[in-house]
Amino acid sequence: MSALLKDRVWIMLSEIAKRGVYPLHASRLGVFRMPVDLTDWSDISSISNDLKSSGFKMDAYADRIYATYKWTEKGLDPLTGETLSTDLNVTVEAVTGEVVDLIYQIKPLEFFGDCYWVRNYRQKADQNAKMVIDTIIRNTKIGDKLVAHYQKAEKLSLERAIKRLEELTPLAQNPKVRSAAAIPPAAGPASSPKLVQPTIAVAPKAPAAAAGADTISLSGTGTNYSKAEGPIDPEFKSKRQVVGSFQGIKVWGPVDPPGQLGIWGTQVTVDFDICIADGACIEACPVNVYEWLDTPGHPGSEKKTFMAREKDCIFCMACENVCPPQCVKIFQKGT
């Protein structure tokens, strides 16, 4: 639980949430959820170390890191004409875990004393908080992991993933320079999507994934099909049979590729014949269960959201709730 938010929990899944300011009991709050895993203690410690030269005051407690930016405001008392000054600050909290939440709260100006003469305080505090967030993302391990996430989830090249990170963090101070030649060690986990190229061949790695047929191909002669309409049948497990598997994921028939692909998954299930590849489930998933799988020739869409890391599902139901055609169904373990 966030120490800043206490019992008030706000989660914004969209990247543009960082650019917003939200009212909360005379304070203002901004929350930005990063789709990266930061659970290793050495990685968490490196965040503070990487920011030591930033000029922020750094603190840490358990799995949380705090970066406080201080600045001085000067101005004239409108009544006496006297020159006044006061010290202000804003704190960004990084809550680490399977995802990283970056949180800031703008305190009321009265918190700092009788500073009625300060102009545009909220705008300045908001801008400074965003600068701190951009600096944390760009200059630490979070940035490296985000680059790896873009490569894996969106199948971007390393150069395009780095460019995406730079576009996301325009306010970063003394931004860390990344290049295709410098990143490979940190981006190691992101190389896997390059190895798992969407393929139309039979997957060889799942001989024990299902009884009976144990392979599914994405190519074939089934071309006389049209796009199916949602929602997914929540009772499909009692009406369909497992006809094979793909990379360890069960596939429920009927299947007649490429035009009819059936329902995929056991706990995280997606009706591939309804899926339109809008990507909402990929964006919503906090633990990166999904990745894209090319399905050329399918009438619904040329790619599908594949539950490659089905076992990582935390059953938050986010993907099921945001899916426009309602092609996703999540089953709790044991159901």
Per-residue model confidence as pLDDT tens digits over 101-150: 888 888 888 999 888 889 899 889 989 999 999 999 999 999 999 999 88
pLDDT of res. 327: 95
pLDDT of res. 194: 42
Ranges of CATH 3.30.70.20 domains, the chain: 196-335
72 strand-pairing partners? 87
Cβ partners under 8 Å of residue 143, min gap 6: 137, 165, 169, 176, 178
User: If we measure between CA atoms, which residue out of 96, 105, 104 comes closest to residue 47?
Assistant: 96
pLDDT of res. 155: 87
pLDDT of res. 287: 86
The DSSP line for 86-139 is EEEEEEEEEE-SSSEEEEEEE--GGGGSS-TT--SHHHHHHHHHHHHHHHHHHH
Interatomic CA distance for residues 309 and 324, integer angstroms: 22
Answer for the pair 216, 199: CB distance below 8 angstroms, yes or no.
no
Record the tokens describing residue 181, joined without a space: 């030649």
pLDDT of res. 30: 65
Backbone φ and ψ of 130, nearest 5°: -65, -35
Residue with tokens 């199916």: 228
Q: Which residues of the chain have pLDDT under 70?
A: 1-30, 180-214, 334-335
Record the tokens describing residue 80, joined without a space: 């006496």
* Gap between the terminal Cα atoms of the chain: 30
User: If we measure between CA atoms, which residue out of 153, 133, 122, 114 comes closest to residue 36?
Assistant: 153
Interatomic CA distance for residues 186 and 6, integer angstroms: 34
pLDDT of res. 19: 35
CATH number for the region 196-335 comes to 3.30.70.20
pLDDT of res. 29: 60
